[in-house]
């Protein structure tokens, strides 16, 4: 998950920005895109329509609804120093947001289409919900900048025993703080907490990706968390940057520029020449872009097909789990029935143990 923005502009401003020619010029409304190396930067805004809350939206955002965890301040739930002392709040929250309970959105499948058409150079995501993987993005084309629930490790430096998604899921849904089977230290999902370094893959790949990129597509992020937000300033000066978001973000900030984190996006000045903002819900923005490309029906069919497959698998898994419970209950009944048998019955089952004479 990441930190997308509060609801932004609508109406005339949204329509004006949505109709900007950058979309069909750079991606090609004919379906023959001029851009061949698209980099996507995404945040929690692309997952909200799946039912996963973002962080910062007033009233509905995650940080606005953590009162029950009795935290010193909302961000503490994702701070590594707090987690090491008090892991319980994080794992309680994880039960509510755990991967596997949500379906990918139109945005996720739009990136899947980019991949299938050979246009996706890389997806850089702030999200930890693994929906990019569920949507079918190749892990090689994915940079999970803020880590993932997909794997976990023991926190003890001398141990670092790895654990998989299923192992962690079983413990979280058993209301247990996951403990290492080797050393009994706390096991943490491989998501990046405040106070931890980003994965080395993030820094390695951005060096080459942001030299090759010929279209930067930014979706559902407030661009407030560094160093992720600074990526928008790493593209070549002639590379178009398209923002699909509830409000404009990533614009120049003098202080952050002096710190070396300047985003420098310019949507409105007389000097603006490459930055375009489509303001509204991310799914709607992706559908609008797909329509310009002639991909809308293809995208809608992909979403329908993939969601149906997920629903079918969920139903099978639920039926299998229910069947397992039924067998367990049946076994208990048989055991209890056996306890009620008479000694004579027991002797009959044992055959030759009974006296054969009348």
Q: What's the pLDDT tens digit per position in 20-53?
A: 434 444 554 334 457 899 999 999 999 999 988 6
Please give the share of the chain, as a percent, with pLDDT higher than 90. Answer: 55
The answer on pLDDT for 8 being more than 50 is: no
- DSSP output for 201-255: HHHHHHHHHHHH-SEEEEES----STTGGGGGGGS-TT--EEEEESS---B--HH
> CA 87, CA 83: separation in Å to the nearest integer?
5
Q: Tell whether the model's pLDDT for residue 113 goes beyond 60.
A: yes
Q: Which two tokens stand for residue 132?
A: 């990019």
pLDDT at position 58 over 50: yes
Whether the pLDDT of residue 288 is over 90: the answer is: yes
CA distance 4 to 248: 11
pTM score, whole prediction: 0.77
- For 269-302, letters b (16+ CB in 10 Å) and e give eeeeebbbbbbbbbbbbbbbbbebbebeebbeeb
Express each pLDDT in 208-244 by its tens digit: 999 999 999 999 999 988 899 999 999 999 999 999 9
CA distances from 20 to 11, 38, 213, 309 (A): 15, 18, 21, 36
Active-site residues: which are they? 146
């Amino acid at each position: 998950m990441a930190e997308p923005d509060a609801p932004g502009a609508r109406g005339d401003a949204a329509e004006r920005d949505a109709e900007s020619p950058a979309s069909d010029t750079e991606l090609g409304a004919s379906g023959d895109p001029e851009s061949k190396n698209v980099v996507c930067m995404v945040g929690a805004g692309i997952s909200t329509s799946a039912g996963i809350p973002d962080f910062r939206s007033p009233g509905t955002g995650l940080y606005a609804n953590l009162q029950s965890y009795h935290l010193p301040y909302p961000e503490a739930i994702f701070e590594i120093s707090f987690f090491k002392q008090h892991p319980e709040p994080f794992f309680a929250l994880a039960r509510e947001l755990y991967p596997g309970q949500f379906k990918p959105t139109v945005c996720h499948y739009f990136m899947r289409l980019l991949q299938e058409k050979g246009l996706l150079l890389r997806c850089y995501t702030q999200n930890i919900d693994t929906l990019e993987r569920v949507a079918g993005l190749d892990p090689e084309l994915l940079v999970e900048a803020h880590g993932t629930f997909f794997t976990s490790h023991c926190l003890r430096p001398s141990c670092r025993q790895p654990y998989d998604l299923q192992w962690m899921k079983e413990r979280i849904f058993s209301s247990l703080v996951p403990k290492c089977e080797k050393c009994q230290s706390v096991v943490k999902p491989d998501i990046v907490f405040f106070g931890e370094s980003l994965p080395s893959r993030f820094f390695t790949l951005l060096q080459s990706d942001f030299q090759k990129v010929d279209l930067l597509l930014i979706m559902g992020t407030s661009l407030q968390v560094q160093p992720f937000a600074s990526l928008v300033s790493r593209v070549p000066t002639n590379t178009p940057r398209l923002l699909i978001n509830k409000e404009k973000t990533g614009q120049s900030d003098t202080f952050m520029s002096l710190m070396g984190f300047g985003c420098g996006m310019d949507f409105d000045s007389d000097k603006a020449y490459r930055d375009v903002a489509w303001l509204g819900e991310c799914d709607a923005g992706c559908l609008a872009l797909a329509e310009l490309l002639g991909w809308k029906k293809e995208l809608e069919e992909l979403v329908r097909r993939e969601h149906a497959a997920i629903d079918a698998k969920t139903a099978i898994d639920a039926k299998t789990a229910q069947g397992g419970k039924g067998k367990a209950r049946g076994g208990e009944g048989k055991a209890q029935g056996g306890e009620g048998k008479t000694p004579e019955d027991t002797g009959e089952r044992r055959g030759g143990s009974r006296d054969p004479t009348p």
